[in-house]
Amino acid sequence: MPDEYIGGVPGDAGAFNDAARTDEDHRHRAGPGAVLGAGVAGRVTGAIRRHPLRSALGALGVVVIGILAWSVAWYEGQVSGASGGARTVVTVVRGSSMSEVATRLGSQRVVTSTLAFRIYLVLHGTPVVRPGGYLLHRHEAFAALRSALVAGPDVFGVSVPAGFTVDETASRLEQLPGHDASAFVSLANSGAVRSPWQVPGSTNLDGLLGTGTYIVLPDESDKTLLVQMVERFDTQAEQASLAQGAASLGITPYQAVIVASIVQKEGVYSQNLAKVARVIYNRLARGMDLQMDSTVLYSEHRDGGPVTSADLALDTPYNTYLHSGLTPTPICFPSAASLRAALAPAAGNWLYFVVVSKDGTEAFSDTLAGQVANEQLAKSRGLP
C-alpha cells in the first residue's frame, strides 16, 4: 500500500514533477528574487513599459511644435496686416533710429507689433528712412509699409505767413510734388472757391486766406487746400469779431480787411499796427490820398524794395498816390494782430509815419513838418 500511495495515480506524479521543473526553470531564468507563479504575465508586462524621461520628452516636443506653429501663424498675420485701416500721418524726426521709427509706428498703430516689424526688416532689409511726414494706414501690411518708407516723405507742411499773397502762396505750393503755381492761381481767381467776405462780382482771394502752416497730403487737390485756407480765415475773422468791429467803424467787413492788409505791409511790427490803422482812417476821413508804397508794389507783384518816380506814375487802381480811397481789394493776408488793429485803431490825430529805428519802430506825426523831421532822424541813423 505505501508503494501504491507513493506512486499515486499514473500521470499525476508526472504532471506535478513537470510543473515543479517549469517553476524551477523560471526561477533560474528570472534570477534571484523572482516570484514563483509570475509566469507569462510577468513577461508581457515588461514588454510594454515606457521610460518616464522618454514620455516627458515626447510631450515637450508636441508643445514645442505647437508653439512654433502658433508663432509662425502669428508672424504671418502681422506681416499681412489688415486692409482698410484708417489713415494717419507719421512724422520721422531728423536723426531718428530705426528702433525709434518702429516705436512711433507702433504708437500710432501702423503696426500692431514692433517686434514682428523688426524681425521683418532683419529678413528683408532695413531701409534708410528720411525725415519728414509719411501718409500711412493703421495695420499696414509690412511690405507696403517698407515700400512707403523707402520712397521717402510724401506729406509736407506749407507755411503761409502774414503778408503773403495768392501768387506767393502758389510759388510755395509749386515746390511740392503734384502742384503747379499757375494752376493754383487760376483756380483761386476762377470763383470756384469763394469767401463769404468777398464782395459780389469779385473773384480775388487776396486777404481772405488764413495764415499759418498747412499739412498737404499726397492726394490732396488744390481745391481742397484752397477751401481749407478760406475756412481758416473765416475762423480767424470770427475770432476777431470782424463783422461787429467793422460795423462799429461804419465800414464793411471787406473794407476792414483791406485796411488790415495795408496795416500788415506798412506797420509790420506789433508796436506800429494800431497807430498805422489810425493814420489810414484819419486820411480817409480828411479825403487825403493814402500814399502808401505797399499798394503800388502790390500792383507790380513786388514785396518791398524802393519805389521810384516811375512806380509812382504807374496808373493802376492800386496806386494810392494817384487814386483816393482804399484799394479795390486787400493787398495781402493780414495777421490776426493786423486784423485786430484795423478793427480797434489807436486813438490819435496822426497823418504821417516813417521808420526811425533799425528794429522797425515807426515815428508818427500830425503835421508834414513833423514828418520831415522824422525823416531826417531816420536818415541820420542810416535808414533809407
Q: What confidence tens digit (pLDDT) does each residue in 322-340 have?
A: 999 999 999 999 999 999 9
Domain ranges in the chain are 59-151, 156-238, 240-380
Give pairs for 149-154: CB < 8 Å, separation 24+.
149/101, 153/92, 154/217, 154/218
Q: What's the pLDDT at 9?
A: 36
The domain covering 59-151 belongs, at the CATH homologous superfamily level, to Endolytic murein transglycosylase (3.30.1490.480)
Q: What's the pLDDT at 63?
A: 74
- The 10s digit of each residue's pLDDT in 3-39 is 433 333 334 444 434 444 444 444 444 444 444 344 4
pTM for the structure as a whole? 0.75
Gap between the Cα atoms of 167 and 195, Å rounded: 17
- The 10s digit of each residue's pLDDT in 86-125 is 999 999 999 999 999 999 999 999 998 889 889 989 999 9
Indicate the residue type of 177: P
What SS3 state is found at 129? coil
Domains 59-151 and 156-238 share a fold: yes
Which CATH fold topology does 156-238 show? Answer: Dna Ligase; domain 1 (3.30.1490)
- The 10s digit of each residue's pLDDT in 178-218 is 899 999 999 999 999 999 999 998 999 999 999 999 999 99
User: Of 306, 312, 272, 271, whose CA–CA distance to 291 is shortest?
Assistant: 312
DSSP, res 347: P
Gap between the Cα atoms of 378 and 361, Å rounded: 10
